[in-house]
Every structure is written in structure tokens, then in C-alpha cells.
Amino acid sequence: DGGITQSPKYLFRKEGQNVTLSCEQNLNHDAMYWYRQDPGQGLRLIYYSQIVNDFQKGDIAEGYSVSREKKESFPLTVTSAQKNPTAFYLCASSTAAWGTGELFFGEGSRLTVL
């Protein structure tokens, strides 16, 4: 079945450590996105990519980094510079490069900093 796979589902990290969240899609979508979700705040855009080897910062990019070396993959690294990284992270993709198609979401990764 086509879809978006995020891993790991749950991740624990000590302060000062970088962690990388995986996102893979087999929908042949051009655009991919990373969102952060905190209780009562909806979804906030971290980074997005409209095409391979190109990506743009979203509203809350500080402390995060991404790469887009392959169309199907868009990993997110949460660096030690992110001051409050505990959150639920959602990866998404869409058919239209300019945001007019609906978003398809993965199941999410919950990161907890100890």
C-alpha cells in the first residue's frame, strides 16, 4: 500500500544529543513537509521541500535541519540547539508542488527529552 512511513514511533533523548527522525513516502509526491504538534497549538511548520535537493524553512526552523537527497525521503534532525524538543512530529507529503493538493500524513514520531 502507498503511504508515508515515519520511524521511530517513540524516541527518548538525553539533553545535548542530536536525533534524526525518518520519513519515507512511496506516493511519488514532489512536496514533503515536517510539522511539530504541541497540545493546544495545532500544527506548526518546521521545514518543507518542493523538489529534490531543495528545501525551505518554515515558521519554527531554529534548532532543526533537513535534507532531501531522494524524492521519497525527507529526514529531520533535531539538534541540541532546539531548546524545547519534546513534541509530536508529523511528516506529510502532497501531490502539488505549490500546496494546492491535500496533505497526506505519516503516523507521527513522539520525541521525549529526558
Partner 1 sequence: AQSVTQLGSHVSVSEGALVLLRCNYSSSVPPYLFWYVQYPNQGLQLLLKYTSAATLVKGINGFEAEFKKSETSFHLTKPSAHMSDAAEYFCAVTFNYGQNFVFGPGTRLSVLP
Q: How far is the CB of 89 from partner 1 (least distance, A)?
A: 10
Span 46-75, contacts to partner 1 by CB under 8 A:
48, 58
- Give whichever of 58 and 80 is closer to partner 1, judged by the CB atom: 58
Give the Å distances, CA to CA, from 23 to 62, 105, 114: 19, 10, 23
Binding mask 81-100 for partner 1 (x = CB under 8 A): -------x-x-x-----xxx
Q: How far is the CB of 50 from partner 1 (least distance, A)?
A: 8
Contacts 24+ apart (CB under 8 A), 70-75: 71/28, 71/30, 72/24, 72/25, 72/26, 73/22, 73/23, 73/24, 73/25, 74/23, 74/25, 74/32, 74/33, 74/34, 74/49, 75/20, 75/21, 75/22, 75/23
- Give whichever of 92 and 113 is closer to partner 1, judged by the CB atom: 92
Binding mask 13-42 for partner 1 (x = CB under 8 A): --------------------x------xxx
Chain positions contacting partner 1, by CB under 8 A: 4, 6, 33, 40-43, 45, 48, 58, 88, 90, 92, 98-100, 102-108, 110
